Each structure stands twice: as structure tokens, then as C-alpha cells.
Amino acid sequence: MYHNRPIECFTDKIIEELFKPYRIIENQKKYIFYLHDDKPITDPLKILNNIRNLRVQAREASLETLEEMLEKLTIIVDERREDETSAQQEQAEHQAKLVAFRAKLLEDGIDPSEILEGLKSKPAKAKREPRPAKYKYLDENSVEQTWTGQGRTPKAIKAALDSGKPLESFEI
């Protein structure tokens, strides 16, 4: 009922053990799980987070396998807690440094807002004014249009130029 392939890593082993009754298809190195009614489940963590699914799958796995998975998941949770704690400590140290620098600046008579004003970017160059139109012509709908002489030549002017009419005849 499920896709048989060699177990390549811990995640694959968990997937194989916990989802035996599910049909598993490997699609672009991403697993898609199908329940018995063929509705796709694209996020295996949603299945792992559902206690009823875990109970059903745990009945089919051996106790040794469940203990091994528990041990590995405990290691992962502990590592995650350490990462969170270290990130919080780094953030606290960063904040403490900012407070110390601000106090030092104020002690020396420098307002921190003055520093920020000096770092502001220069104003952007003003947009140039649009070029004035140099030529007038009638388009294919007989509506009067203008052209600056820049960019692609309008079809009406191009057709007239191809028929021998000089560009000066369109000048405003």
C-alpha cells in the first residue's frame, strides 16, 4: 500500500514506521502522504502533531522503535531549547550594549538622535520634467497625437516616412 524504498535518514525511518498504512509517494524530494480516501496531506508534522494519528501508528510500531524515536525527538527538543536560550541571551547582551552606548553618548553630551540625523540618506534627485512634444500626427483612429522624437517611431509617422514624407512636415 505504500511506496517501498530504502530508509536513508532518521526522518525517513520515522515516516516509514509511523505511516505504514498511508500511501507515500516521493515527489521532487518532498513526501506527499495520502490517507485511505486519497486526500493528500502535504505536511507530515500535522500528522505527527495529531494524538489520534500517533496512537494508531504507535500500535503498529515496536516498543523499541518508539523508544528510539522518543530518544531522538528528546535530543532535538533539547537542542531547540538551547538554541532558543542562546538567542535570548544574545538579544539581552545586544540590548545591554545599546543601553551602555546610549548612556556613554549622553554622558559625553551627544544626543543619539543627532547621530541618526547625520546618517540619513541624501534626498533623491528630482525627477526630470517630461520632454516637450516635437511632432504632431494623426493615429490610425484619426486622433491627434504628439511624439517627442524619443523612443520608437509611431506607426503613422513611420508609414508616412516610408512613403517619402519628410519628418519636418510633422513638427509642431
Residue 115 cell numbers, joined? 547621530
CA dihedral for 122, 123, 124, 125, sign (positive or negative): negative
| Cβ(172)–Cβ(146) below 8 Å | yes
Choose the CATH number for 135-170 among 2.30.30, 3.40.50, 4.10.430, 3.30.70.
Answer: 4.10.430
What is the tens place of the pLDDT at every residue in 45-91? 776 777 887 887 788 888 998 899 899 989 999 999 999 999 999 99
| Cβ(2)–Cβ(24) below 8 Å | yes
Entry pTM: 0.40
Instruction: Measure CA 51 to chain center.
Output: 31
- Residue 80 has a pLDDT of 94
Q: Which residues, 6+ apart, have CB-to-CB distance to 33 below 8 Å?
A: 19, 22, 23, 24, 40, 41, 42, 44, 47
Mean pLDDT of the 33-51 span: 61
